[in-house]
Each structure stands twice: as structure tokens, then as C-alpha cells.
């Protein structure tokens, strides 16, 4: 009986912490929405007086405001067209958004957000929430496994690049390396040792097979996590 009461208390505290975290994320998202409206040229705080309703603008639609600034609706946002850098900035902002809450990590993110985003495409709050869901639903083992597999895949891709560079050098007579051996300078050309090229091509075959195997494992594990 005592163990049951202890477990219930733990679950109750877990639920309270989870609710608090979700509420904090909701408030943060509301604040970000206000900032985005201001950057888009709107004023979310004007509520008094009569404002005639206007039809929602569609993606691709362009217009000019009272100050002569030209705007276009792109991906659900109003983008100012007067700047030459607009397409580049728009692409950067799109690539910098958290895949869960949509926050622009590059502009609004904290140090923790910017640390975890490159590998997860999530802000820190959303990553914590996602990991909590995996623990709750018993998917933590799969989550840890996929992180290890992706790190291994990254290392193999780096190795493959080095192998391709070696093959290019060994296949090209113009590639030369000068080494000093026992006080004498010796020049090695790309084709000085045919066996090196054979070995490099064998390494390329092996790394491609290993990458194919890991990709299949990652796809399999991701299927089990997509249900979360």
C-alpha cells in the first residue's frame, strides 16, 4: 500500500511539472507571435476604434502600404520587397525555424536553443518536451539508438569524403606530394602506386554498403518514433 501511494505521488508531480512546462511554452509562443506581427509591419496592440475588416491576403499577393512600401505574402508572412536582401533573409529565416513551434531560433533563440538546433531542428523547450514524451511512452531506448546511428552515419560520410578525395588524387597524374625521407626530397605522383587506388576504391565500396545499412536502420527506428 505504501509503495502505491509513493508511485501516485511521483505521477502527480510529473503531471504538474508537465503542465507547467506546456504553459510556459504557450506563453513564449504568444510573445513570439506578437514580435512577428511587429516585424511584419502590424501593430497587435491597437484595439480601440473601428477598423473595417479586410480579406486575408494570399501567398504571392503583393501590395503597397500608405508609406509607399511594397509587401508580398510569402509562406504565411508579410515580406517587405524594398530590400535587395529579402529573398536571402527569407530563406535563412525559414531554415532557422523550430520544426515544432515555428520559433526563429536565429533571431529569438537563447544559447541553449542555438546549441541544440543544428542537430535536432528544435528549440530547447521543444526538445525537452519531445524527450519527455519519449520517456513517458516508453520510446526512450529507440530515441537513444537513433542518435547513435545518426552520429555514426555522420562519421561515415566524413570518411567517404576523404576516400573520394584520395581516389581523385590517385587517379590524377597532376596530383603530387613532396616528402622528405632521410634528408632527400621524394615526389609521389597520383599514379605512383596503383595498389593505393585499388585499396581506396575498395574502401569506397565498403563505406557505401555501411551507409546503406545504417540508413535502413534509421528509417526503421524513425517509423516507431513517428507515432509519438
Rounded distance between C-alpha atoms, residue 58 and residue 75, angstroms: 9
Instruction: Find cell 504568444 and name the residue.
Output: 30
Sign of CA dihedral 118, 119, 122, 124: negative
Spatial contact of 77 and 97, defined as CB atoms under 8 Å apart: no
Confidence check: pLDDT of 11 > 70: no
Contacts of 129-135 with CB under 8 Å at 24 or more apart are 129/21, 129/22, 129/25, 129/100, 130/100, 130/228, 132/18, 132/21, 133/228, 134/225, 134/228
The answer for residues whose C-beta is within 8 angstroms of residue 82's C-beta and 6 or more apart is: 69, 70
Q: Which three cell numbers stand for residue 41?
A: 509591419
Instruction: Walk across the sheet containing 77-80 and list its strands.
Output: 62-64, 70-74, 77-80
| Backbone angle region of 121, left / alpha / beta, with phi > 0 → left and psi within -120 to 50 → alpha | left
pLDDT digits (tens, 9 = 90+) for 180-219: 667 777 666 667 678 888 999 999 999 999 999 999 999 9
pLDDT number for residue 190: 63
Which residue, among 70, 95, 96, has the nearest Cα to 81 in the 3D structure? 70
Q: Can you tell me the distance from the alpha carbon of 136 to that of 149, in angstroms, rounded to the nearest whole number?
A: 22
- Give the distance between the most distant pair of CA atoms in the chain: 90
Question: In whole angstroms, what is the distance from residue 150 CA to residue 158 CA?
Answer: 12
pLDDT of residue 60: 76
- Please give the pLDDT value at position 208: 96
Question: What does the block give as the cell for 60?
Answer: 504571392
Name which residue leads in pLDDT, 62 or 145: 145
Q: Quick one: average pLDDT of 149-175?
A: 87
Amino acid at each position: 500500500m505504501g509503495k502505491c501511494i509513493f508511485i501516485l505521488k511521483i505521477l502527480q508531480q510529473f503531471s504538474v511539472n508537465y503542465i507547467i512546462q506546456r504553459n510556459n511554452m504557450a506563453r513564449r509562443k504568444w510573445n513570439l507571435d506578437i514580435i512577428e506581427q511587429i516585424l511584419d509591419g502590424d501593430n497587435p496592440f491597437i484595439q480601440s476604434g473601428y477598423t473595417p475588416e479586410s480579406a486575408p491576403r494570399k501567398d504571392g499577393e503583393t501590395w503597397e502600404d500608405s508609406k509607399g512600401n511594397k509587401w508580398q505574402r510569402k509562406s504565411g508572412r508579410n515580406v517587405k520587397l524594398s530590400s535587395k536582401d529579402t529573398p536571402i533573409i527569407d530563406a535563412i529565416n525559414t531554415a532557422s525555424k523550430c520544426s515544432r513551434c515555428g520559433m526563429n531560433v536565429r533571431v529569438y533563440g537563447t544559447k541553449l536553443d542555438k546549441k541544440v538546433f543544428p542537430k535536432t531542428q528544435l528549440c530547447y523547450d521543444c526538445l525537452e518536451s519531445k524527450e519527455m514524451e519519449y520517456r513517458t511512452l516508453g520510446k526512450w531506448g529507440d530515441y537513444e539508438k537513433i542518435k547513435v546511428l545518426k552520429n555514426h552515419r555522420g562519421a561515415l560520410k566524413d570518411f567517404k569524403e576523404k576516400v573520394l578525395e584520395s581516389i581523385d588524387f590517385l587517379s590524377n597524374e597532376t596530383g603530387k606530394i613532396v616528402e622528405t625521407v632521410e634528408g632527400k626530397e621524394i615526389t609521389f605522383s597520383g599514379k605512383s602506386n596503383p595498389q593505393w587506388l585499388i585499396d581506396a576504391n575498395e574502401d569506397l565500396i565498403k563505406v557505401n554498403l555501411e551507409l546503406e545499412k545504417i540508413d535502413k536502420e534509421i528509417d526503421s527506428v524513425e517509423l516507431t518514433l513517428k507515432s509519438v
